[in-house]
Amino acid sequence: MSSTANDKALSFPYVDGLAHGVVRYQRCAACNAAQRLARFACTACGSRDVRWHDASGRGTVFAVSRVHRAPTEAFKALAPYDLVLVDLAEGARVMGHASAGLAIGDAVRAEVFRVADHDLLRFAPDR
């Protein structure tokens, strides 16, 4: 969990989920729309009744980049590393690391690893 994690924070369930090896996302109880990031209200219908759910961790690669120029010392040790945006099966989108060689459209599955005191997602091919 992030050293700054605050259990009152809007995004706490996501950060806490990663600490427990689970990808969490919000879904609107009124219209069922999955939300990206943490929201105060549904982006589709405006309802304030958005609730946290556990995702399966399965999804599809939406975008991918191999990062050679890392922003911090902790990540310079890891570089080059692959970052992806993944569309989860449940409809939300998340950013994470990925095993090398993934392409847009590949089916993937999430695991959690730890860098610089943060629990992070890493996606690998879903076989």
Partner 1 sequence: MNTSYIRGAGTTRFGRMDGKGALDLMAEAAEQALDDAGLARAEVDGVLCGYATTLPHLMLATLFAERFGIEPSYAHGMQMGGATGAGMVMLARELVRSGRCRNVLVVAGENRASGQQRDNAIQTLAQVGDPDYEVPNGGSVPAYYALLASRYMHETGLTEADLADFAVLMRANASRHPLAQLRTPITRDEVLASKTIASPLKLLDCCPISDGGVAILVSDTPHPACDLAITGAGQAHRHQHLTAVSDTHNFGAHDAAQRAFSEAGRARGDIDYLAIYDSFTITLAILLEETGFAPRGGSAARLRDGAFAPDGPLALNTHGGLLSFGHSGVAGGMSHVAEAWLQMSGRAGDRQISPRRRAFVHADGGVLSSHVSLILERRD
* Number of residues engaging partner 1 in binding (CB under 8 A): 39
* 112 near partner 1 (CB under 8 A): no
Q: Is 110 left (phi over 0), alpha (psi -120 to 50) or beta?
A: beta
Residues 16-55 that bind partner 1 (CB under 8 A): 36-38, 43
Give, in order, the Cα–Cα distances in Å from 71 to each of 24, 49, 60, 120: 26, 37, 26, 16
- Candidates 32, 63, 99, 125: give the one binding partner 1 (CB under 8 A): 63
* 94 near partner 1 (CB under 8 A): yes
Q: By the criterion CB under 8 A, which residues form the site for partner 1?
A: 2, 9, 11, 14-15, 36-38, 43, 62-72, 74-75, 78, 80-81, 83-85, 93-97, 104, 115-116, 118, 120-121
